[in-house]
Amino acid sequence: MIEVRDLQVRYGGRLVADVPVLDVGAGECVAIVGESGSGKSTTLLALLGLTENAEISGQIGVCGVDVLTASPRALREIRGARAALVMQSPQAALGPATRLGVLMRRALKLHGRDASGANMAKAVEEVLLDREILRRYPHEISGGQAQRFAIALAIALGAEVILADEPTSALDVTVQAEVVGVLRRLREERGLALLLVSHDLALVSTIADRVLVMKDGAVVESGPAAGVLAEPSHPYTRELLEALP
């Protein structure tokens, strides 16, 4: 679902992300962890061709599409429906003026998907939200509800890949556990490929198969999550682990 080779992203000549290999198959979950500024979000955005003013080299394949050479039309289909991006603060992206149900219906129609009320309610309930939320405006919901709504939208669109940036940063601990449970279930039941970006190694250890540890734009360690967490080989990974509460 995601195949990256020799990805390098530069801003003004400065290398901010250098990722030699990143693969996420259907039903797999890979996490990128690292401190603020290490290049995690840049890597995620580059996968969908969403980095502005960046110089990018290497190869990026998402859902079989070569992102760096794809037509605008192919990129729109990937970004809008097949590979969904769940941001840290999705409320800003949702805009203030339109009810969530209307937003969802528009997106579904735009991509030729099932825009029935039943399909929308099913998607919303799958992420443990009440279907009543479809009548609300974005400013009337919490950050955690907004993240779950973004995941519901991805489900309704039939996304194959979810790219999530700090998927639980806006949530309290109980809701965090619920969202992680939802993501885990989605990958098991729907074979979704998940790429998560997180500071939170504890969260990562409960859901990811593999982990990439980034520092100053470079991947300093990668491998199966259990191995990296149990026996980190890089001092930086040990530091991240020791910083856990």
Stretch that binds ligand ATP, among 32-40, 105-113, 118-126, 139-147 (CB under 6 A): 32-40
Residue 71 interacts with ligand ATP (CB under 6 A): yes or no = no
Least Cβ distance, residue 44 to ligand ATP (angstroms): 8
Stretch that binds ligand ATP, among 31-39, 69-77, 99-107, 171-179 (CB under 6 A): 31-39
Q: Which residue has the tokens 């194959």?
A: 160
Number of residues that bind ligand ATP (CB under 6 A): 11
Residue 40 interacts with ligand ATP (CB under 6 A): yes or no = yes
Stretch that binds ligand ATP, among 20-28, 40-48, 73-81, 135-143 (CB under 6 A): 40-48
Residue 42 interacts with ligand ATP (CB under 6 A): yes or no = yes
Contact 96, 137 (CB under 8 A): yes
Alpha-carbon gap, residue 14 to 12, rounded angstroms: 6
Residue 16 interacts with ligand ATP (CB under 6 A): yes or no = yes
Q: In this structure, what token pair is assigned to residue 245?
A: 């509460």
Residue 198 interacts with ligand ATP (CB under 6 A): yes or no = no
Residue 36 interacts with ligand ATP (CB under 6 A): yes or no = yes
Sequence-ordered list of residues with C-beta below 8 angstroms from that of 199, at least 6 positions apart, any chain: 33, 34, 35, 36, 166, 169
Alpha-carbon gap, residue 32 to 73, rounded angstroms: 29
Alpha-carbon gap, residue 31 to 27, rounded angstroms: 13
Helix residue ranges, H only, the chain: 40-47, 72-77, 90-94, 100-110, 117-126, 143-156, 173-190, 201-207, 225-230, 235-242
- In the bound state with ligand ATP, the residue whose beta carbon lies nearer, of 39 and 167, is 39
Residue 11 interacts with ligand ATP (CB under 6 A): yes or no = yes
Stretch that binds ligand ATP, among 30-38, 55-63, 79-87, 204-212 (CB under 6 A): 30-38
Among 39, 101, 167, 232, binds ligand ATP (CB under 6 A): 39
- SS3 annotation, 159-218: CCEEEEECCCCCCCHHHHHHHHHHHHHHHHHHCCEEEEEECCHHHHHHHCCEEEEEECCE
Alpha-carbon gap, residue 160 to 146, rounded angstroms: 20
Stretch that binds ligand ATP, among 35-43, 139-147, 179-187, 237-245 (CB under 6 A): 35-43
Alpha-carbon gap, residue 78 to 101, rounded angstroms: 22
Least Cβ distance, residue 213 to ligand ATP (angstroms): 11
Least Cβ distance, residue 8 to ligand ATP (angstroms): 12
**Contact residues: ligand ATP, CB under 6 A:** 11, 16, 34, 36-42, 52
